[in-house]
Structure 1
Amino acid sequence: MTWSKNRDLELFWPLRFLPQEQDIREARILTFGYNSSFRFGSGKTKMSVLDFAKDLLYELKYGSEETEHGLEDLRMGERPILFVVHSMGGLIVKEAYMQGLYDPAYQPIVQAVAAIAFLSTPHRGTNLAESLNRILQVSFVGNPKQFIADLAAGSHTLQKLNEQFRHVASKLQIVSFYETRPTPVLRKSQMVRMLVSKPSLF
């Protein structure tokens, strides 16, 4: 839903609109998703930014696509790769890039990364992460999530990632987009009510 206008899957931006851009209509467009749901039964509770990054690398190397000739290897690394990443996805790509640089199995893929466009990526974390995990802990909606702890402002995970990434960032073309208008922040009591009454929002 992150990439769908008005949460309408018929208006999925990478599929519907991006291929219409003249300069990139010949590009192969792939998407990667990860389970960041807060609800019970939504998967492992211990998943971290590092876990998601390893999943991304694995999918890039071993993923396949269905063609008229059957399943074919994606052959990632043969052409330049441009990542367009949103929110925590930006941290996942940074972590995947760092992991791949030092893993011979993934080096050809990572070396093909030419650029990253960051959309609303919390590079320094957010003060809301700790509050959200506390709310999850006291509510019956879900358990605290490791990836939320990773997003806390000043977290060791983010400090280490940013320190490592800054040494290799000069090899990439990077552009960052961020909001310039204030976003209303809910009070904790309102957030609990929303989590309880409308868990499908997440």
Structure 2
Amino acid sequence: MRSPLRSCLIASCIALAAPLAFAQNTIDQKQEDISYAMGGFFQSGLAQSFQTSADSISGAGIELWPRAEEDGPVTIALWDALPTQGGVKLAEGVAKGVGTLWADTFWKPVKAEANKTYFLTFTSDVPIFIIGGSLDNYKKGMAYANDYTPFAQYDYTFRTYAAPLPAQTTPVPEPATAAMMLAGLGVLAGQLRRKTRQRPSR
């Protein structure tokens, strides 16, 4: 029969590991027009608006100009409104930016409202171009550049991802809290070993 102390130890380990588990990501929104190099990271305020059809957003990606002579990290952030309009950053990830490849990044699924407008912002320290189109192929959003100026007929070549939300959201513990929890688990494990050694033989 499993002792209460052992059960507590196992439950604590599961609670610590749960926030690290990520579900499979699937593409939700995408714009595939690759007409030309539309925006570069030497510009400020690069963003793309979109409307999700899923109940979560778990990542995003952009396609980069294949003639890029340099590559480097690309930061993609998810916002509920533009940063210049009081938006709140909901998630952020860093992708490896290489010409001819998609720069994709993922984060823990964020709860979203279907058909609500969200925003992706793109930043990098290297002068890479983002591919895009001017035919307004994506009707649920638009591109922004030059301090988040809207360009209604333009869209970057982007995609977003969705993943199932966890049944019960468990907050990720702060480093100090996690250290205390791990120390407590060590004490519990030590007590369990001592009780096992002290148990009289039959």
TM over 0.5: no
Work out which structure has the larger RCO, using CA pairs closer than 8 Å and 6 or more positions apart in sequence. Answer: 2
Shorter chain as normaliser: what TM range?
A: under 0.3
The TM-score with structure 1 as length reference comes to 0.24
Higher Cα Rg: structure 1 or 2?
A: 2
